């Protein structure tokens, strides 16, 4: 899987405004509102951008890293053959990437992201 770089991170919790203020203050990340309760965290030159806030559904605090993928569905098949499990099948985000989530054999959840074609 050479070339599968970490390209995005997500920090999600119950207090999106508090989390955004914390990370903006701690690291100087610029927060750009994206969805209600969610902001894109712009990490600056050479940094990996991410998202900070809350997501719809039951609140669950977590951190997720996303790995670049040309074909999330195929990568999920390979991951399952290695003992991982699918948490979220390949899902196209309108106007954004196609994402998927998997759990490794110890239960760590990691994301896959395919950038949108334009």
pLDDT, one tens digit per residue, over 58-96 is: 767 899 999 999 999 999 999 999 999 999 999 998 888
Single out the residue of 98, 96, 95, 59 nearest to residue 76, CA to CA.
Answer: 98
> Does residue 87 sit within a domain?
yes
Q: Do 111 and 86 share a structural domain?
A: yes
Q: Do 52 and 18 share a structural domain?
A: yes
Q: Do 50 and 74 share a structural domain?
A: no
Q: Report the predicted TM-score, pTM, of the whole model to 2 decimal places.
A: 0.84
Mention every residue, 6+ apart, whose C-beta is less than 8 A from residue 90: 72, 73, 76, 98, 99, 100, 112, 114
Judge whether residue 1 has pLDDT over 60.
Answer: no
Number of domains in the chain: 2
Neighbours of 89 (CB within 10 A): 12
**Which residue range forms the structural domain that includes residue 28?**
10-60
Q: Do 54 and 96 share a structural domain?
A: no
3: three-class secondary structure by DSSP? coil
> Does residue 38 sit within a domain?
yes
Tell me what the mean pLDDT of segment 99-113 comes to: 94
CATH number of residue 88's parent domain: 3.10.180.10
> Does residue 4 sit within a domain?
no
């Amino acid at each position: 899987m050479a070339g599968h770089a970490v390209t995005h991170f997500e920090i999600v919790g119950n207090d999106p405004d508090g989390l955004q203020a914390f990370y903006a203050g701690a690291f100087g990340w610029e927060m750009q509102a994206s969805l209600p309760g969610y902001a894109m965290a712009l990490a600056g030159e050479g940094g990996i951008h991410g998202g900070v806030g809350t997501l719809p559904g039951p609140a669950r605090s977590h951190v997720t890293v996303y790995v670049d993928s040309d074909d999330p569905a195929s990568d999920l098949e390979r991951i399952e053959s290695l003992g991982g499990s699918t948490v979220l099948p390949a899902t196209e985000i309108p106007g954004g990437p196609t994402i998927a989530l998997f759990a490794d054999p110890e239960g760590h959840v990691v994301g896959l992201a395919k950038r949108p074609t334009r």
